[in-house]
Amino acid sequence: MSQRSREQSETSLQSFAAETLPQANRKLRHADPVAIIDWSIETARALAEESRQTAGRLGHLPPIMMTTSMGVNAAVMLHAVTSRLPNIPVVWVDTGFNLADTYRVAHQLEHDLNLNLRVYSPRMTPERIRTLMGGVPMTEDEEQHRRFTELVKLEPFDRAIQELQPRVWLTGIRREETAYRRGLECVTYDSRGLIKVAPFFHATEADLEAYRRRYTLPTTKHYFDPTKVDASRECGLHTASSAA
């Protein structure tokens, strides 16, 4: 896609978001996750049709992807979404600093759910990063930690966006997780040119636990994200969003 075509597409998507998202959030505020996932798929197909693509008509995937952290609640989102759209690209930014339990559960989920898993990792190895930065930077060193986060999470994610060219992004973020997320909506416009949808946005930990038990899904008991350190912090992946 040429630079001009990309700019025209982003402008069109911004207009679509401004016109559609307020109504969508009113409609989906009390909807169950499956209804929200279905709305996302139909929206992606509509955007593909609008831009004269043939993804929906020819049976290929619409321009939609989902992300996973392979964290504690990852299996719920992965199961729910792939039940509706089995071959959806599943982007996992593997920072290289995950705990062993995370890798074991990720391997199990990829096999059990037959995931179309797309793993994006930093261009540097963890050993090289540790050497150059003197270990994993703590959040107290804001500038060094910002550089670390850019290196291990934001750059790989941007690479995924460039390669997959989605228009709709399904994410597992939830309202109750952080103070920042409590100010968001279920559907937002992301400044990277994406309609971001969180099907489980209003779900509680109890809701997720019930879902896991219902479908006998595994969970990562030991999970640590070095770009957040504290679960109440943001890593930067979602702070580019703005409610439309």
Contacts of 103 (CB under 8 A, 6+ apart): none
pLDDT, position 54? 42
Q: How far does CA 17 lie from the centroid of its chain?
A: 18
**CB of 182 closer than 8 Å to CB of 198:** no
What DSSP character marks residue 136? S
pLDDT, position 57? 45
Average pLDDT of span 199-216? 96
| Domain boundaries along the sequence of the chain | 21-52+60-242
- Minimum mean pLDDT range among 20-29, 85-94, 195-204: 20-29
Phi, psi of 125 (to 5 degrees): -75, 155
Q: Own/partner pairs for 159-162, CB < 8 Å, 24+ apart?
A: 159/120, 160/65, 160/91, 160/93, 160/118, 160/120, 161/192, 161/194
- Looking at the predicted structure, is the pLDDT value of residue 23 above 60? yes
- For residue 50, name the pLDDT band (cuts at 50, 70, 90): confident
Whole-prediction pTM: 0.89
- Looking at the predicted structure, is the pLDDT value of residue 7 above 80? no
pLDDT digit string, tens, across residues 82-91: 999 999 999 9
- For residue 241, name the pLDDT band (cuts at 50, 70, 90): low
Phi, psi of 22 (to 5 degrees): -60, -45
Instruction: Tell me the average pLDDT of the chain.
Output: 89
Yes or no: domain 21-52+60-242 corresponds to CATH 3.40.50.20: no
CA dist., res. 226 & res. 98, Å (int): 8
Sign of torsion over alpha carbons 93, 97, 102, 108: positive
